[in-house]
């Protein structure tokens, strides 16, 4: 049986994992390579890392960090943040990423999804979508939720799939960083409208939140703070899910 | 002592970095040598060949053709030499692939590569899933039975002889996750991404076969 994936997410600046609510009060949580190694050894099913400050200078160090991480882990690695064109995607894959996630660039230029999946295969192209409720509608937002686009969430998710996305990384900006649980309503809408894997992201604070995320039919559950703060070990989450009858890799 | 030569084919179908590193770690301090195959090669100068792959069947076949790898690889396989195909590197052992367009494969293991039949499944089959061994083998031993490995694919080996299936996995249906014919092995999952069990499998292949 296919297992539900537990995916720690590293928000990275250069080579440091950071945590900041809405990009304010950024706090260093640790060294990215060390943390990646720790998660790989302690039972993570996959690892996600995002360059949250993809400026020209920071980028070089970030790519070196991707290379170092790819060398020390042997689980799949998804890398995103600041991916703007095919060149960025190729660079990250060459650095050792197994999958690359595209967010704003895909919204601005949907053809990028098709070009990237034709060149590298759908299996390594993840479309990251940030969703937010606006005037009773679920919309796609960019720039960390500060800019609401005209795209309707479900339409965009379906379009991403038909353009060749292999997976959707779905973050709700209504629940992200608040630790009150995933946006289950939004996730269910997405999973029931696409046929590709969906990773749930944004809002995990308790063990039960992981279980509720599983019930949305998301096949991957992503979390950051609860792992970085050592509130839960990955094994703790998996044992809990297993006791609720969720298939996990123990 | 003469060193055994392992060939790693770079079919320009995904990154070979992880598998390259895994092999290097395994053979360190042992009588083996690793050579990356990027074009025509002399089939008799290799003791083992590993072909990893991601992406589409048709793409890998056409890449191998362009790189002039098909002919020596066929000669190598016809001699029942030792081979490990990973993901698409396993799939092209079949007669035909039906991804994108119908493409002729290497024809080493009879069968076709077709999409999962169940239309309701989430595709690709992505994540960790269990392998169930049909038989114990010198490389794929009992210790791998019921263990999880990392899969990412939308197509599976179909119309294959039962005797060529070493292990199967369940996802909407039963499908072959390890195939074997003589010294030729193919795994549908990615051992290089499957943590310790995956690395053990590669290690067994290199050291025990």
- Catalytic position from the list B125, B190, B195, B197: B190
Using CB atoms within 10 Å of the CB of residue B122, give its burial: 0 to 12 exposed, 13 to 18 middle, 19+ buried.
buried
Count of all residues that appear for chain B in the document: 209
B16: containing domain:
4-208
Pairing between β-strand B96-97 and β-strand B103-104 as defined by DSSP bridges = antiparallel
To the nearest whole number, what is the mean pLDDT of chain A? 95
For A25-66, the pLDDT digits (tens) are 788 999 999 999 999 999 999 999 999 988 888 899 999 999
Q: Sign of the C-alpha dihedral, residues A170, A174, A180, A184?
A: negative
Q: Please name the member of B55, B124, B190 whose beta carbon is closest to the beta carbon of A120.
A: B55
Rounded CA Rg of chain B:
16
Using CA coordinates, name the residue in chain B closest to A73.
Answer: B195
Nearest to B32, CA basis, from B6, B53, B51, B9: B6
Residue B53: its pLDDT value, please? Answer: 87
Walk along chain B (209 residues) and give the pLDDT tens digit of each residue. Answer: 789 999 999 998 778 888 999 999 999 999 999 999 999 999 999 999 999 988 789 999 999 999 999 999 999 999 989 999 999 999 999 999 998 899 999 999 999 999 999 989 999 999 999 999 999 999 999 999 999 999 999 999 999 999 999 999 999 999 999 999 999 999 999 999 999 999 999 999 999 87
Residue contact A166–B124, C-beta within 8 A: yes
213-232 of A, contacting B, C-beta below 8 A: 219-220
Residue contact A3–B128, C-beta within 8 A: yes
Using CA coordinates, name the residue in chain B closest to A91.
Answer: B15
Distance CA B120, CA A84 (A): 33
Query: Which domains are assigned to chain A?
Result: 5-243 (3.20.20.70)
Contact A224, A8 (CB under 8 A): yes
Residue B209: its pLDDT value, please? Answer: 77
- Helix B57-66 and helix B70-78: axis angle, to 10°? 100
Asked if A190 reaches chain B (Cβ–Cβ under 8 Å), the answer is no
Using CB atoms within 10 Å of the CB of residue A25, give its burial: 0 to 12 exposed, 13 to 18 middle, 19+ buried.
exposed
Per-residue b or e along A34-59, where b marks 16 or more CB atoms closer than 10 Å to that residue's CB = ebbbbbbeebbbbbbbbbbbbeeebb
- Check if B75 is active-site: no
Residue B78: its pLDDT value, please? Answer: 95
- Catalytic position from the list A45, A88, A130, A176: A130
Determine the average pLDDT of the residues in A157-176. 96
- Look at residue A10 and tell me whether its pLDDT is greater than 70: yes
Using CB atoms within 10 Å of the CB of residue B168, give its burial: 0 to 12 exposed, 13 to 18 middle, 19+ buried.
buried
- Look at residue A20 and tell me whether its pLDDT is greater than 80: no
What ipTM was estimated for this complex?
Answer: 0.95
Distance CA B3, CA B85 (A): 22
For chain B, what is the domain count?
1
What is the distance in angstroms between the Cα of B209 and the nearest Cα belonging to chain A? 23
Residue A216: its pLDDT value, please? Answer: 98
- Check if A130 is active-site: yes
Residue contact B150–A76, C-beta within 8 A: yes
Residue contact A220–B17, C-beta within 8 A: no
Contacts of A108 (CB under 8 A, 6+ apart): none
Q: Please name the member of B59, B127, B199 whose beta carbon is closest to the beta carbon of A45.
A: B127
The more confident residue out of A144 and A62 is A62
- Look at residue A22 and tell me whether its pLDDT is greater than 60: no
Residue contact B128–A2, C-beta within 8 A: yes
Phi/psi at A26 (5° precision): -70, 130
Residue B148: its pLDDT value, please? Answer: 98
The more confident residue out of A232 and A54 is A232
Predicted confidence band at A143 (pLDDT cuts at 50, 70, 90)?
A: confident
- Check if B99 is active-site: no
Q: Please name the member of A74, A93, A96 whose beta carbon is closest to the beta carbon of B198.
A: A74
What is the CATH classification number for the domain harbouring B69?
A: 3.40.50.880
- Look at residue A115 and tell me whether its pLDDT is greater than 80: yes
Give me the long-range contacts of A54-60 (CB less than 8 A, separation at least 24): A54/A81, A54/A82, A58/A13, A58/A14
Using an 8 Å CB-CB cutoff, list chain B residues near A70. Answer: 17-18
């Amino acid at each position: 049986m296919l297992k539900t994936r537990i995916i720690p997410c590293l928000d990275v600046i250069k080579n440091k994992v950071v945590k900041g609510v809405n990009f304010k009060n950024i706090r260093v949580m640790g060294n990215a390579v060390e943390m990646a190694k720790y998660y790989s050894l302690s039972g993570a099913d996959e690892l996600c890392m995002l360059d949250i400050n993809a400026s020209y200078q920071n980028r070089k160090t970030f790519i070196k960090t991707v290379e170092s991480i790819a060398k020390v882990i042997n689980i799949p690695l998804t890398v995103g943040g600041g991916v703007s064109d095919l060149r960025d995607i190729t660079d990250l894959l060459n650095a050792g990423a197994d999958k690359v996630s595209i967010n704003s660039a895909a919204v601005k230029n949907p053809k990028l999804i098709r070009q990237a999946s034709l060149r590298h295969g759908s299996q390594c192209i993840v479309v990251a979508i940030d969703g937010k409720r606006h005037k009773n509608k679920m919309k796609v937002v960019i720039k960390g939720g500060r800019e609401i686009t005209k795209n309707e969430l479900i339409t965009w998710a379906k379009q991403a799939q038909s353009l060749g996305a292999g997976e959707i990384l779905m973050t709700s900006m209504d629940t992200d960083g608040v630790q009150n649980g995933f946006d289950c309503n939004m996730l269910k809408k997405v999973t029931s409208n696409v046929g590709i894997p969906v990773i749930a992201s944004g809002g995990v604070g308790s063990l039960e939140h992981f279980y509720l995320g599983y019930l949305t039919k998301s096949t991957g559950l992503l979390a950051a703070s609860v792992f970085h703060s050592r509130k839960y070990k990955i094994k703790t989450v998996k044992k809990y899910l297993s006791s609720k009858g969720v298939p996990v890799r123990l | 002592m003469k060193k055994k030569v392992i060939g790693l084919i770079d079919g320009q179908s995904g990154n070979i970095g992880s598998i390259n590193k895994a092999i290097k770690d395994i053979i360190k301090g042992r009588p083996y040598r690793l050579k990356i195959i990027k074009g025509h090669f002399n089939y008799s100068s290799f003791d083992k060949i590993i072909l990893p792959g991601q992406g589409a069947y048709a793409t890998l076949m056409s890449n191998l053709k362009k790189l002039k790898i098909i002919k020596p690889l066929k000669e190598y396989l016809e001699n029942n030499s030792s081979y490990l195909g990973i993901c698409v590197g396993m799939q092209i052992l079949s007669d035909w692939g039906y991804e994108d367009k119908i493409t002729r494969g290497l024809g080493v293991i009879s069968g076709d590569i077709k999409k999962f039949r169940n239309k309701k499944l989430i595709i690709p089959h992505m994540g960790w899933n269990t392998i169930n061994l049909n038989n114990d083998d010198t490389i794929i031993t009992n210790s791998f039975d019921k263990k999880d490995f990392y899969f990412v694919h939308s197509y599976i080996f179909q119309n294959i002889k039962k005797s060529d299936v070493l292990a199967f996995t369940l996802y909407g249906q039963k499908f072959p996750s390890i195939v074997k014919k003589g010294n030729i092995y193919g795994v549908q999952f990615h051992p290089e991404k499957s943590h310790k069990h995956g690395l053990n499998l590669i290690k067994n292949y290199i050291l025990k076969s």
